[in-house]
A and B are shown apart, each in its own frame.
Chain A
Amino acid sequence: MPIISTKDIVKVFNPGENEVRALRGISVDIDNGEFVSIMGSSGSGKSTFLNILGCLDEPTSGEYLLEDQKVSGLSRKELSLIRNRKFGFVFQSYNLLPRTTALENVELPLVYNTEIPSTNRRQMAEHALEQLGLGDRMHHKTNELSGGQQQRVAIARALVNDPVVIFADEPTGNLDSRTGYQIMEVFQKLNDSGKLILMVTHELELAALGKRIITFRDGLVINDEKVIDSPRAIDILNKEQ
């Protein structure tokens, strides 16, 4: 049973005269434990597709099943509940709260989770940060951290509620290539431990670090292939040195 299953997803922006058909019928199945790279040039519809899968946006038509449950037609409140409990997001521009400590940023998804008592929040956030090697940066404000560190805080925030899927939209786009590979290494390790990761990128070298590459062009999937023997980011880093 695939975790994510879409059938004929269509997304039309500005329906009417200046309409833009961003997605023109996407059908994809994604299983647990996969590391999927979504490739494509800008305007190919890859980010739109990721946003729909992440329940941040709704398709114009088509069916989206998440863990065999229909997502289309759910209310805003139900969608926010799915995002809170099942998804973690990593954005290109980190999107951390300014002038707030790393710890508080990581705690944020837990604040909206009424099932987690407020006394456990701090401990869970500390644990997530330690996992990403930021144990000594917890009380730093976000503007006191480097880009790579900020992105790791963002990953810790995506991990803290133990999500089913982690969505990453160009997670290395704002970083130099070295730091970018360090972030990719984090994703690979997470995937090793069984997390399903969906990453949007337009760089083939980064996409190749995943286990499957889906290529978009003009709102259609033009290629969907498994990566055999994907290289390890740590090896690339070591080779460069």
Chain B
Amino acid sequence: MRFFDLLKMALQSLNKNRTRALLTTLGIIIGVGSVIAMLAIGKGSDESIRSQITSLGTNMIMVMPGPSSEHGRSMQAGTAVSLELKDAEAIKRYSQLISMVSPSVQTRAQVVHGSRNWNTSINGIYRDYVDITNYEIGYGIMFDEKTSQSLQKICVIGRTVCDSLFDTPDEAIGKVIRVNKIPFTITGVLAEKGQGSFGQNQDDVILAPFRTVQKRLMGINYVQIIYLSAVNEFQIDAAKEEVSTILIEKQKKLRGGDPDFTIRSLSEITSILGTITTVLTILLASIASISLLVGGIGIMNIMLVSVTERTREIGLRLAVGAPEKAILVQFLSESIVMCLVGGVLGILFGYGVTALVGKLMNWPVVIAPSSILLAFGFASFIGIVFGYFPARKASRLNPIEALRHE
């Protein structure tokens, strides 16, 4: 028996029962299609959830100085003055797991424009701060990295500040406001962000270059908080570890004293994130696998019917000298052909469903090449497993009984 003969035979006999073969294949098409679609939807929602959680700022890590103590009495954490700009620079230089770094200082200030005034907090930051905390610029422009490290008197203002001082955001761009009597030029207005995780109004803020605020407004030399962003949400713990090592080493070298800082992050949320998306994907994939299984049982059923129907043909083939193995392979290849054809059409069907779901529901859907391989492999596996039993039944027939079969 040659491979080509087998394929020809399988195709011929499937062709003789076209409708039946097509309907049986439909089971596999739907099975493979739904595996692909479900995996794509699972992967899509995984990415959607991840990007949404990321926008909460879960990648964010904060380094604060330790508690200060006055005459042996511990004060609130973050009140010490032990962090400096060099710490931020060291993290930026040596860390592998940190993608963004911004030192920050913050103070409250009275802001005046014309006859209006407002009391708000002004943050001195580097450009990266905007991305770490997921602020977006709504009007005008954000000052760039280099400017953010300079002493220029420019700023971007939050929407709440803007509404208090100006009639429209457009009007604010290029205007000069006085912050504690120092004039700052507005380059942009932040897009509305709403409340933060603890209820604070994140739009009631002014962002200005770090050193401008540190030196001109506050007149201090230390850094209050260093904001960091880990490369991704799964590396936060490792990143914290790394930052800690860098700071301990640096602070020991410079000051010789005990390291003095605390590192905080929102790590609980990210650990839940991983669990949710894994469970979701497994759930969807197992639902889809069940339909693939049902499709496989359909194949087995039809092959059993086919063996019974063609008992005389099998008897004849045995009589003219077909070895058992040839009969086995002949029937097996029929079911495999059905499964492979179903697999190919199922992949197309899965693509269609995925695209449709993506479009109608406006969901992000991602078809991974691995899911195609998985579905295709699964389909051929089912063809072999569910085709084997009927094929074996056919090959074990007694030639005389098979020939006499009515």
Contact = CB atoms under 8 A, between A and B. Distances in A.
The answer to whether A and B interact is yes
A181 interface: no
B317 interface: yes
Contacts of A77: 323-325
Contacts of A84: 320-322
A97 interface: yes
Interface residues of B, number: 24
A157 B320 contact: yes
B322 A80 contact: yes
Q: Which of B317, B321, B398 has the most CB of A within 10 A?
A: B321
B323 A112 contact: yes
A83 interface: yes
A45 interface: no
Contact of A85 (B312, B321, B325): B321
A148 to B, nearest CB: 19
B246 interface: no
B1 interface: yes
B301 to A, nearest CB: 22
B16 A112 contact: no
B326 to A, nearest CB: 6
Interface residues of A, number: 28
A89 interface: yes
B10 to A, nearest CB: 13
A80 B321 contact: yes
B1 A111 contact: yes
A69 to B, nearest CB: 17
Interface string B9-20: 000100010000
B323 A89 contact: no
B400 A81 contact: no
Contacts of A100: 12
A91 B403 contact: yes
A109 B324 CA distance: 14
Contact of A80 (B5, B315, B324, B400): B324
Nearest to A109: B320
B321 A112 contact: yes
Contact of B1 (A54, A97, A114): A114
B49 interface: no
Given A80-B321, A118-B5, 7 more contacts: A56-B318, A80-B322, A89-B320, A95-B312, A108-B317, A111-B1, A112-B326
Interface of A: 51, 54, 56-57, 76-77, 80-85, 87, 89, 91, 95, 97-100, 108-109, 111-114, 118, 157
Interface of B: 1-2, 4-5, 12, 16, 312-313, 315-326, 398-400, 403
